[in-house]
Structure 1
Amino acid sequence: MTPPVEQSLDDVIASCDRIRAYVSDPALPEALVHDAVRMRLVDIAAAVQRLPPTMTRHEPAVPWAQVSALAERLTRRPAETPASVLLGTARTDVPVLCAAARRMRARCP
């Protein structure tokens, strides 16, 4: 059974918040942050795959197809994504995605 849209958006937001906490904590080892960010991006991709196009089209600045494809790339070919790319994504793209997910969640009944 597919979770409701609200739950998928909540999953995206929660993962974004966790990623932000990981990358902002200087006490965490870099390898641990890399692994944690990668897994949270996989979680985000899975949640985004459950969102209907009728909802994502309201946030055209987010490349939803690319976000959705992250799970495949990060689980089947993890070595092809260097830590610098993951951390750059975490610091630059995740906040944009999180803001979009929060706006979408606010529009839900």
Structure 2
Amino acid sequence: VGCGALHVMWADLGEVRTLAVKDTWRGRRVGHAMLTGLVARARELELGKVFCLTFEVDFFRRHGFELIEETPVAPEVFAELLRSHDDGVAEFLELAHVKQNTLGNSRMLLTPPPTP
């Protein structure tokens, strides 16, 4: 009925990827449950930041994500990420070779509190 993934990009940075729910299951909190689980896993892995590329801004905002304009990584991390051949990484870094609006036109960031 749904899918989603947490991609660890760096020691303290993860990406929520391909979070989707079948239309007939929307409104039943399936997406909420999956995102909550992915963020919990990010906490377990001690990821300090989790981002997403999305068209569903309101959904992610309800879960604590905020819109970002800048790339929220240190310059040395940015340089390392530039070496990636992953289109999701390229979109996150706003590289020109990525076709616009294929992965989501809004970048959002969550800084999850540490696991108690």
TM-score normalised by L of structure 1: 0.34
Question: Higher strand proportion, which one?
Answer: 2
